[in-house]
Amino acid sequence: MSGFLRILENEVQLVALLFLVFVYLFRLVWLFKFRSRKERTFPVGKEGRGIARSLMNVAMPWAMESTRKNPGFYVQFVIFHIGVAAAIAASFIIPYWPSLLEIKAVVRLFQVAIAGGLIVGLLRLYRRIAQPRIRLISTPDDYLSLIFMILFFAAAVLAVPNEFKTAEWPLILFFGLTAFLLIFVPFSKISHYLYYPFGRFFFGRTLGHRGISPAKKLSKGKAE
């Protein structure tokens, strides 16, 4: 392995990761600077249960009409995010647990998972371009974030075999893109995972407090 690749796989990644963490901390401070409202009404349900259910929403495709109506979209979502998880895992496994990738089945498993994400990414890009209502709301951030993820998946598929003795370029491409994305992500829509818990928390808190979700039991004669 060349010295360049070794540094790219290790020090460069760590610096980029630290940058991402730093920017996210800054972002969280920014979000917490907005005032929070105080709830002054008697609860009907339990806020904690509403929050928990809302956070679990991602794993309950039956809970929302949008995913009930579009099961294919939900399957795509799952495949895409499994691909993301696999590609991110690969960026740690390659430098820190390379022996795992000496098992051919593991390599194939990673490649299939990541390729799934790649295919869904292409489908999503097509959808964003082809559907007028999605095209109208799409920003350069939406397009480029998706394109970078597609490139990231493609590079990850090539890099996972970790055959640096044969050719280093797939690994250089993959780790170069990983470092780039770690710096790029906080400024892009890919950061949505940072906001997901907050969005679901606030919505779930209201629904829980008002006894909407989880649905309250029909209690006898109780005044609110």
H helix or E strand, kind and range, residue 107:
helix 104-130
Among 65, 99, 105, 165, binds another protein (CB under 8 A): 65
Binding mask 169-188 for another protein (x = CB under 8 A): ------------------xx
Among 9, 13, 16, 67, binds another protein (CB under 8 A): 67
Q: Which stretch binds another protein (CB under 8 A): 4-12, 39-47, 109-117, 174-182?
A: 39-47
Query: Is the Cβ of residue 32 or residue 126 nearer to another protein in the bound state?
Result: 32
Beta carbon of residue 133, minimum distance to another protein (angstroms, whole number): 4
- Residue 165 tokens read as 């003795």
Instruction: Tell me which residue of 82, 88, 54, 104 sits closest to 177, measured CA to CA.
Output: 88
Question: Residue 221 interacts with another protein (CB under 8 A)?
Answer: yes
Beta carbon of residue 142, minimum distance to another protein (angstroms, whole number): 5
Binding mask 132-161 for another protein (x = CB under 8 A): xxxxxxxxxxx-------------------
Beta carbon of residue 96, minimum distance to another protein (angstroms, whole number): 31
The Cβ of residue 220 has, within 10 Å, a number of other Cβ atoms equal to 5
Question: Residue 6 interacts with another protein (CB under 8 A)?
Answer: no
Contact 115, 153 (CB under 8 A): yes
Contact 169, 6 (CB under 8 A): no
- Residue reference for tokens 């963490």: 21
- Residue reference for tokens 């480029």: 144
Q: Count of alpha carbons within 13 Å of 219, Cβ hemisphere only?
A: 9
Phi-psi domain of 167 (left: phi exceeds 0; alpha: psi -120 through 50; beta: other): beta
Query: Is the Cβ of residue 107 or residue 128 nearer to another protein in the bound state?
Result: 128
Interactions with another protein, residue window 72-131 (CB under 8 A): 73, 77, 131
Contact 50, 208 (CB under 8 A): yes
* End-to-end Cα spacing for the chain: 69
Positions that interact with another protein (CB under 8 A): 30-32, 34-42, 44-45, 54, 57-58, 64-67, 69-70, 73, 77, 131-142, 187-189, 192, 195-196, 198-204, 210-213, 215-216, 218, 220-221, 223-224
